[in-house]
């Protein structure tokens, strides 16, 4: 009976449980479990150097500071990846004289365009198409991830 009551209390609890404990060399932030309704998910451990933890603790709550630092790092990395993909996309646009959606439409419906590409631009246009698609879709995917970071639901 007591175990069932405890289980019910845990299942109805909607919280994030954080444990912060001191290791001999570093602080370890362990986000143990998120319990929300019937959903339970294990989180990851992160080690933080003592000198970083000391400064971060001075600046505010350790978890808040770590979250903000990680968010900034992720935004920087995603932005860099998007810039790289856009640059490659731009080089394909210059090479083929159109954007990716137009290119796809034209190669699927315009045989003269395909002949022109093979004759004047590149016989390997299909390899370019695969890389261009990767850049185009990759940019969209990374933009969505960036939106999810900046505008959490």
Name the residue ranges covered by the structural domains of the chain.
1-59, 61-153
State percent of the chain over pLDDT 90.
53
pLDDT level of residue 45 (50, 70, 90 thresholds): confident
List of residues 6+ apart from 62 with CB closer than 8 A: 20, 27, 29, 48, 53, 56
pLDDT band at 56 (very low <50, low <70, confident <90, very high): confident
Q: Rounded to whole angstroms, how far apart are CA atoms 150 and 153?
A: 10
| pLDDT value at 21 more than 60 | no
Calculate the alpha carbon distances from 77 to 23, 70, 73, 97, 144 in Å.
30, 10, 6, 30, 14
Other C-beta atoms closer than 10 Å to the C-beta of 153 total: 3
Which residue shows structure tokens 């019910």? 8
- Specify the 3-state DSSP secondary structure of 110: coil
Residue 65 to residue 109: CA distance in whole angstroms: 54
Mean pLDDT (the chain) is 78
DSSP state of 124: T
Q: Are 40 and 32 in contact (CB under 8 A)?
A: no
């Amino acid at each position: 009976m007591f175990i069932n009551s405890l289980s019910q209390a845990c299942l109805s609890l909607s919280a994030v449980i954080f444990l912060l404990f001191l290791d001999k060399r570093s602080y370890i932030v362990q986000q143990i479990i998120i319990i929300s309704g019937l959903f339970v998910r294990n989180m990851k451990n992160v080690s933080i150097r003592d000198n970083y933890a000391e400064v971060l603790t001075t600046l505010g709550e350790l978890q808040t500071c770590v979250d903000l630092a990680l968010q900034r790092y992720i935004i920087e990395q995603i932005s860099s990846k998007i810039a790289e993909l856009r640059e490659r996309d731009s080089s394909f646009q210059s090479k083929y004289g159109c954007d990716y959606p137009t290119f796809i439409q034209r190669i699927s419906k315009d045989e003269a365009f395909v002949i022109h590409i093979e004759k004047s631009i590149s016989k390997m246009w299909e390899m370019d198409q695969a890389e261009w698609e990767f850049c185009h879709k990759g940019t969209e995917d990374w933009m969505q991830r960036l939106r999810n970071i900046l505008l959490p639901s």
